[in-house]
Structure 1
Amino acid sequence: MMNQSGADAGLEVRLRTLRILWAVFLTTIGLYVLVTVSARPSADELAEGGRDNPALLMALAVAGLSTVAISFVLKRSFYARAAERGDPAQLQQGFIIAVVLCETCVLIGLVGLFITWNSYAYALFVLGALGIALHFPRREDVAATYYKRP
């Protein structure tokens, strides 16, 4: 087992790493929005394209919502196991899996937007961003893997 100062240093490094990853994942959503704004076809092209498909967008919304919901279930499972075993690496794996699943929701929205150009696809961007925001790495969660309680 690490001494107290070594565990504190490891905890701080792990927490900083998780928070940097969290910020990067949120930033990529902003970049996806910039891509969609710059790639959006003109109103004339949208009118003649006839690409609006609400059923497809609804199916993509269900898939996106499912990935965000699953991210919370998996994160809770990984965090509980990591705290039980005192394994910070497993906590980090759970965190990464959770935010990647939320990012998947955003990518599903991106695909839906490129297929239909329906502005409701941006709701998946918001849902994914909200999921990532709620996965903010907390010190208590990380500390639970470094300091096992009797």
Structure 2
Amino acid sequence: CGGVDLSVPDSVWSTSVFTGVSQVVIATGPSQASGMSSEVVDYQGTKNMLTAAKPFLLNTDACGAKSQELFSFTSGSSSAEKFERLDDVIMGGKSSSAFIQSTNGEYATWNGDLVVESGGFCGARAKDVEIDTNFFEGIS
């Protein structure tokens, strides 16, 4: 495999790419090339990779570990509501952010306006998340 273009679904997906694979790490970034926006590369590219890898990884249990989805941002989910903003307004700043479910229900985004002259930070944190971690060794 000499490399793949995640934004083009047909460039990635061959059995040889995933043979023996038990985990996938994706590190992407937008390009200056025409049409290579963050949405095309990061969002759609990651979605393409996960779609392609899923049949090969579904039955993989490399560590014998259980898994549990922590948050789902698909349509009908209330996960986005579990996040609250943590911006510099708590220290008198003027930045603001929000965690918002997409209109098509496929994902959520966190975005906002950072005002560096007045504290200068935006954040989001999950609230009231009850997860029994007794049977897990980590997050992947």
TM bin (shorter chain): under 0.3
Structure with bigger strand share is: 2
Structure with bigger helix share is: 1
Higher relative contact order (CA 8 A, sep 6+): 1
TM-score, normalised with respect to structure 1: 0.26
